[in-house]
Amino acid sequence: MIVDTIKENLCVNKKVATKKEIIFVEGDVIVPDAKPDVLNVICTSGVVCIYKKEMIDEKIKIEGKVDTYIMYMTDNSKERIRGINTELDLSETINIPNITNEMESKINTNVKEIEARVINERKITVKATIEVTIEVFAKEALSIVNSLENTEEIKMLQEELAVNSLVGSGETKIYAKDNIAIDNIDNLVEILKLDVQICNKDIKISYNKVLTKAEAEVRMMYLTEDNRINKVISRIPIIGFIDIPDVNEGNSCDTEYEIRNILVKPNSVEEHSVYIEMEIGVHTVVYEEKIMNIIQDIYSPSQNIEFNKRTIRTIAGRQEITNTKEIKERIMIEDLKDREIVDVDVVPNLLKQNIEQNTITYNGELEISFMLMGEDMQVIMKREIIPFEYVIDNINDGENANIHTNIEISNQDFIVQGNGEIIADIQMLFHSIIDKNVNINTIDEIQANGEREEQDYSIIMYIVKKDDTLWNIAKRFGSTIDDIARVNGIENPDSIYPGQKLFIPRYKRSGVSSSQASMINYA
């Protein structure tokens, strides 16, 4: 006889694969005829744009480009510094076992290094080192048995669990564009360097909609007609809506921003501005926290019960933590004398992540690159390293947690003192999403297959062994937790110990409840 069950829906978003890989993108650049010959390369920067990703069985293919800016010294005494903008095509297929085209992927790219080498005065070869981190997820809709109907003859062992159930996912495409103003006295000749960072990310959830808000911080260095180098920093709003059925304000989101294309076009000289347009893909996954009473085990003192048991792996205990760490440091640069700081790049590198109990400790370093220029337009680069340590406390079950941390440089300020000393004031924004994998034991296909073998009313003495529970003992001998606790005077059913002697009531059924039978025979 099939036992009627009550079920609750759960949608599991399982992480099936994680892979980090270094890929190389290379290409040759020919100096345009309108530009002077190359003497040496000063610096190279680039922005990765991923405009296509395709999931194939056990493979993922990504296509895009690296928008690259090369600043170089010329052999022309009148035009000491010039720049070249080029695109490096990116196409890579990465093998990942056990993935299919029905799964979803999350891809993060990070430019580790861009190296430009002069082949001759008219040719430069460029090699970009890109770190690609891929996470692949598979969703599975489940019906979990959390109660039984007509359970007088069946005992249930239930566990209350807080799990993160997938509500849904969605994506949108946003075009962020703006005219970035430069100084009115500057007549722009060309752009020497361009960096873009997505920052100030925020999410607002309303019924059936997710509002995504962020900013694209654009840092641009340019050359003027009178051979000066200047720079400008601007932020372009990124705002979009993603429609996802059944989301509400109590849900939480994992949201990723992906730059797919960048268009940079200087306006007319009279406008003193540069038009920038970015295509940005935004993908979000929405979860709700569910408190579920899940049946772990069942039995009946009077009937033979059969069922299937399975284990489901999902995520639980999701935390989202955002904090700022400020670093103040004095830096000595001897070459700063008679030179000015033209530009500063700050790159955070996370070297080590240590988890102990409920605390996470991050160790890393800030790589700071100073571009210095003298009156003769000669440019030199200086690199400094500042170590840092950052601690997050009060993590739920930290030792078993999955940690996803993103670090942004939210503000940087460098004040030049005398004798080559610089006071650096840098603010780092740590955004961490923390969860843990949990195994849920569930049962289904429950059937009652006749009465248990009849026995006379009796009592058995049993000595408790290691890892025994009253539930396991009662199930083994066809008794109940309440009856064993009553006969032995146990106030707390969870408090038994190895070596303890217990009297176990056993009885046959004849329309008398277990507690009544116990009272009749052992009162």
Query: pLDDT for 347-387, tens place per residue?
Result: 999 899 888 878 889 999 999 999 998 877 888 889 999 99
pLDDT for 522 beyond 50: no
When mean pLDDT is compared across 60-64, 358-362, 417-421, the lowest value belongs to 417-421
Q: Give the whole-angstrom CA distance, residue 304 versus residue 102.
A: 41
Instruction: Give CA angle at 39 (37, 45), nearest 5°.
Output: 95
Per-residue model confidence (pLDDT) at position 439: 83
Higher-scoring residue by pLDDT: 459, 521 = 459
Q: 275-297 pLDDT, tens per residue? A: 999 999 999 999 998 888 888 88
β strands within 149-187, DSSP E:
155-181
Grouping H, G, I as helix, E, B as strand and the rest as coil, residue 474 is helix
Which is it for strands 81-95 and 379-392: parallel, antiparallel or unpaired?
unpaired
Which is it for strands 303-332 and 401-416: parallel, antiparallel or unpaired?
unpaired
pLDDT band at 149 (very low <50, low <70, confident <90, very high): confident
Per-residue model confidence (pLDDT) at position 154: 85
Q: Give the whole-angstrom CA distance, residue 305 versus residue 154.
A: 9
Q: Give the whole-angstrom CA distance, residue 119 versus residue 407.
A: 36
Q: Give the whole-angstrom CA distance, residue 161 versus residue 294.
A: 7
272: left (phi over 0), alpha (psi -120 to 50) or beta: left
Per-residue model confidence (pLDDT) at position 69: 95
Q: 320-342 pLDDT, tens per residue? A: 888 899 999 999 988 787 788 88
Q: Where are the domains of the chain?
A: 10-138+166-287+317-438, 455-522
Which tokens hold the place of 261? 């294309």
pLDDT for 475 beyond 50: yes
**Alpha helices, H only, 326-393:** none
Q: Give the whole-angstrom CA distance, residue 69 versus residue 455.
A: 87
| Phi, psi dihedrals of residue 98, rounded to the nearest 5° | 70, 20
Grouping H, G, I as helix, E, B as strand and the rest as coil, residue 483 is helix
Residues in the chain: 523
Average pLDDT score over residue span 20-42: 94
Q: What pTM, to 2 d.p., does this model score?
A: 0.82
Average pLDDT, the chain: 88
Say which residues have a Cβ less than 8 Å from residue 494's Cβ, sequence separation at least 6.
469, 470
Per-residue model confidence (pLDDT) at position 452: 66
CATH class of 455-522: alpha beta
Q: Give the whole-angstrom CA distance, residue 354 versus residue 496.
A: 37
